[in-house]
Amino acid sequence: MNLLSYSLQAGIGLLLTYVFYQAFLLRLTFYKANRLFLAGSILLCLLLPLLNTSGLWPEKVEHITFYMQTAPVAAPVLSPARVGPIVQATPHRPWPLYFLLAGMTVMLLRLLFQTASLIRIRRKATLVARNGRIRLMALPYPLAPFSFGHSIFFHPSVQTSEDFHRIVEHETAHINQRHTLDIFLCQVLLIMQWWNPAAWLLDQSVRQNLEFLADQNVLEGGADPRQYQYLLLRVSGIAGPVLSNPFNFSPLKKRIAMMNKQRSGRRQGTRFLFALPLLLLLLAAASRHRIHPQDNHSLLRLYGFTVYGATLRPLEGATIYDKVSGRSVRSDGKGFFMLTIPFSEPTDTANIRVLAFKEGYDTGYYTVHSSLKTVSKQAGLGASLLYIGLTSLKPDKNASGFVDNTVLFPEQERALKQMSSPARKDIFDKFFKDTAPPSRSDIEKVFASSPDQIYFVIDGKSYAVVPHASASFDTTVDLFLVDEKTRMTGEEVNKMYKRSQLQFAVGSFPAGNAENTYGIDENLFVIKLKAPQP
């Protein structure tokens, strides 16, 4: 999960909640309703970004044009000396994420320390009286009266006050209404959103409203408002623990003002109806930018194998390097690798230029150029499986360099992830049926024998060949889309164009993907013509 994106989305929701509360609800005396609003909104802001709410209303899907370009031996060669510095490239380190996690860790330790402090206070306190489940605990040192859980803590100096029973009433209201749950919810909020001023302000608002509730309970019990307000001013001392409900929670001026405020009328309760648009706004934000478990919308995952092109044996220690992001990995003993490449979102184009190289071997190239408005909208752009054959720099007429690609659908990627460093033979038939190694050299000979031909059908399989790249289907497919606008058959393409007139880009789109991208519900090849020379 992308914790940074989640934290930002939740933070925006919390800011909206705080602004709404301050503008519409703070001055009302509907303290119970305010409590429900604050607690409910905090929970929604923390949970909604994790939920998929897109089904609540239609979502416009942007179309993406996806091109693949491969360049084997015929492409320009980088010598080992030239690619040497690339080996030193280090993966992108998410320092903002580390900073966020560090702050969350500090806040969690803070909560544990506060809990331990309360436990120490509880052990040093003496049980004075018990009323059902409520315990009165005397403290050995001066602290302002406070409650936590089912216990009321006070210093004996305040017990002599004639209004001591009002203090007990106030703290009993906190206990009976389970205000400790609100305090702990705010602590979780501060751990998750420690960087967000709105979270700290909401924590203060929640605590303040809890005091309004307890004060209202005392006044409804028959206390004289003026005497009770004087009591608040008289009872002072060192503030109680952060996790508690202290009797003298500041600001006292605001509490006294709310006690003297005229009760809000029923008509003013209609302000809570304005919370509905806020909820819809939060739902829309969660739907538009929902978080996926693997953050598929911002990463392209490249899985693959590197082999020696002459023998197809696994090539260990080959470096797979993306020149745009600077990320790199090395293939393991089975030739397997996985490279994740981040996209900047939103972006107009996604460019990926991957090199595969090893000292003593030629260099393989895999490039992606995608014109798009929002990368996250196109299923199928998220994961690909590469099959890379490198050739030795020593002359070898039997060597054959190649870079093959196939898109991985979600279920295929899940199956691949369940295999720890899979061997090529375990998944080759599943993902590369159209490029089985025994027939590769024969097929390439057919391509070479007809250098101008673009469309081939060999053993019931269809191929579209452009300079340094090809695409294929397991069945006979005779539909081309040229420059994303002109439909032609394979025979028409062969008659109309030569291979040299095409760009180094070709795609094979199954019917489902073709319909989503081009509005054509058929299997088709996509090719592009070179720009005319001036």
Sorted by where each starts, the structural domains of the chain and their CATH numbers stand as 3-54+96-239+247-286 (no CATH), 299-432 (2.60.40.1120), 440-529 (no CATH)
The gap from C-alpha 158 to its chain's centroid, in whole angstroms, comes to: 52
The label of the residue with tokens 């060949």 reads 465
Q: Output 352 or 27, whichever has higher pLDDT.
A: 27
Q: At 428, list the tokens.
A: 């080759």
238-263 pLDDT tens trace: 566 767 777 766 678 888 889 988 88
Of residues 56 and 521, more confidence is placed in 521
Tokens of 333: 């003993």
CB 309 within 8 A of CB 390: yes
The H-or-E segment that residue 387 falls in is: strand 383-390
C-alpha span between 235 and 238 (Å, rounded): 10
Residue 111: pLDDT above 70?
yes
The share of the chain scoring above pLDDT 70, in percent, equals: 77
Q: What is the pLDDT of residues 285-338, one digit of tens each?
A: 655 544 444 444 457 788 888 888 777 789 999 999 888 778 889 999 889 998
pTM of the model: 0.57
